[in-house]
Structure 1
Amino acid sequence: MSVRVSLVAAARSSALLAERFDDDRPLDHAGWREVQLAAHTLVGLGAAELRYCSPAPRSRATGDALGFAPLLQPALRDCDMGRWRGMTLSEVAAREPAGVDTWLADPSSAPHGGESLLAFISRIGGWLDTRPVRDGALVAVAEPAVVRAALVYAINAPPSAYWNIDVRPLSTVTITGLPGRWSLSIEAVPR
């Protein structure tokens, strides 16, 4: 018996260069448009027995717009970025360059006073490992950072791999398995 977990990255709430740590802004116009254009390819995921979303406004709005009627899961919240919350990476780098360097190099550090990358990955992994273990499917809409953390945990990659995973808005990834034994599932595009 295994569970199939499809993770959908929330639609965007700003342009890439304006992305902010622990962003709580709703979907922007472009994000709504992207959901409308992608809905036909994602709506089938709503047939999952369990449907979740992170508490971020853009995740909730994405799940609702796709017709998932997702349950809010506080464990799927974005990484707690402490005093860097609401700032862009370039703003933080201008104010605390040494802090950014430490944060990028050491996954156990939290120079911002929030959650370390290691703690974030472990929290998301803990959520995965507590999903119902039975043959079935679930879908979760969450911030791209949450999807990256889930992938690092699922394939048991080193925390530094987090920085090498690019998760675009409305992209999906599926992992299957049991608590502590996850596999990345890549599906062929129907021809």
Structure 2
Amino acid sequence: MNQTSRVLLVTPALSVAQRRAAFDDGSPLGPVGVSQARAAAGSLPADVRAMVSPSVRCAETAGELGLKDAGTRAELAGLDAGNWRGRTLEEVGKAEPEALRRWLTEPEAEAPGGESVAQVCARVARWLEDLEPGAGRLIAVVEPDVVRAAVVHAVGAPPAAFWRLDVAPLTVTELSGRLGRWNAGIGRPLSAS
């Protein structure tokens, strides 16, 4: 990067699955999430290129925030939980405690039928590094996993740091950079200005 790029990573509002502490299964925003996203509409810069994770809750959040023509990007998908989709963390912990422990503590361990933390970190890092030099501002409504992976890459942390980053709904994490180096401003609440 020769010129500065700014990427605003916006996390989606609460979905039905999140309220149950379940792995995302394509569930929509719940009524609280819709209300919160609508209340935050207008809080992002206007006329900025927008992208969205290929999840229902990210697309719905982008719509409620007023982001028009946000292109869906497969590389911005959240961490694929595979066979655990739709199940709660508690259910998986009871049924497959060792597999869950490994997935949460060993970055290379894949969820059954899904992917590993290391894989999502590498995917998001490639996306960041492939942005056009001096791309200017870009808004991406993405899953919290994508924010974690982007921050891990931006600060040069190991993938083992992934689960140590708490990412709240409807927050903005800003990455700015040039010459292949990123800085991170993490977790500013998204609210109407």
* Same fold, TM-score > 0.5, yes or no: yes
Contact in 2 for aligned 1:130/1:179 (Cα 8 Å): no
State the match for 1:31 in structure 2. 33
RMSD over aligned Cα atoms: 2.1
Change (3 A) 1:187 1:18: closer
Letter of the aligned partner of 2:28 in structure 1? P
**Structure 1: which 5+ residue stretches go unaligned?**
none
**Per the alignment, in what secondary structure is the counterpart of residue 101 of structure 1?**
helix
Higher helix share: 1
**Structure 2: which 5+ residue stretches go unaligned?**
none
- CA–CA distance in structure 2, aligned partners of residues 109 and 37 of structure 1: 39
Change (3 A) 1:166 1:88: same
State the match for 1:14 in structure 2. 16
Counting only pairs closer than 5 Å after superposition, residues 40-79 of structure 1 correspond to structure 2 as 40=42, 42-44=43-45, 46-48=46-48, 50-69=49-68, 70-79=70-79
Deviation at 1:55, TM superposition (A): 0.8
- CA–CA distance in structure 1, aligned partners of residues 71 and 96 of structure 2: 37
Deviation at 1:19, TM superposition (A): 3.1
- CA–CA distance in structure 1, aligned partners of residues 159 and 22 of structure 2: 21
The CA deviation string for residues 106-150 of structure 1, in whole angstroms up to 9 with x for no partner, is 100114232111011110111111112115110000111111111
Counting only pairs closer than 5 Å after superposition, residues 63-102 of structure 1 correspond to structure 2 as 63-69=62-68, 70-102=70-102
Letter of the aligned partner of 1:61 in structure 2? E
Deviation at 1:15, TM superposition (A): 6.8
Deviation at 1:186, TM superposition (A): 6.2
